[in-house]
Amino acid sequence: MKKILFISTLLIALVACKENSKEDSKEESKDGTLVNLGTEKTPIYYMTLEAEDGDKTKKKVEFLIDEVLIKKLKLSESKIRNMCDDGIRYADWNVNFKPTYKSNETASLSYDKETNRIIAFMSGTAENAYGVPDNISTIIPFDIKGEMIEDKDGLPEIY
């Protein structure tokens, strides 16, 4: 679990570094489109989608997409978009006061070789019972075909 968090954090940092050098490319891409910020030899894939915070304000969330999903697992752009949408939808799953949830503007979709799963990593903030903002991290697992993993009751298996 710690390894997944470390990798996700590293991937998000990588997107932030590349952000300035490819600003023009980002502005030309539309929401829900898979974009390569890198080169053909060293691709850096991302997808931007719109999210709604707990207070109903809208913002853009950029997902860094692991190249394994595209090159080795051969997942389609629409399947990747659906997983990112599910990540946004369930990002506040573990939040006690959902109207206070605010999503970060970066997220990741990565492949975990150890568990043979795809992981959507979302983070944000929400207030606790005392009104103090806390950091929230949500991990949403998918199988290698891009289907959300559910528990025995049919609910998403979210960490």
5-19 residue pLDDT tens: 444 554 455 445 544
3-state secondary structure of 16: helix
In this prediction, residue 87 carries a pLDDT of 95
Q: Is the pLDDT of residue 58 over 70?
A: yes
Distances from the Cα of 128 to the Cα of 97, 125, 134, angstroms:
7, 10, 7
**DSSP 8-state symbol, 10:** H
Read off the pLDDT of each residue in 55-59 and give the average, rounded to a whole number. Answer: 94
In this prediction, residue 56 carries a pLDDT of 94
Q: State the CB neighbour count (10 A cutoff) for residue 19.
A: 14
Residue 139 zone, left/alpha/beta (φ > 0; ψ -120 to 50; rest): beta
Structure tokens at 6: 């470390």
For the whole prediction, is pTM greater than 0.85? no
Q: Is the pLDDT of residue 147 over 60?
A: yes
Q: Is the pLDDT of residue 107 over 60?
A: yes
Q: Is the pLDDT of residue 129 over 70?
A: yes
In this prediction, residue 155 carries a pLDDT of 87
Read off the pLDDT of each residue in 45-50 and give the average, rounded to a whole number. Answer: 96
Rounded CA separation 77/35 (Å): 10
In this prediction, residue 9 carries a pLDDT of 52
Read off the pLDDT of each residue in 115-143 and give the average, rounded to a whole number. Answer: 94
In this prediction, residue 31 carries a pLDDT of 82
Strands (DSSP E) found in 53-127? 58-65, 102-103, 106-112, 117-127
Tell me which of 103 and 17 has the higher pLDDT.
Answer: 103
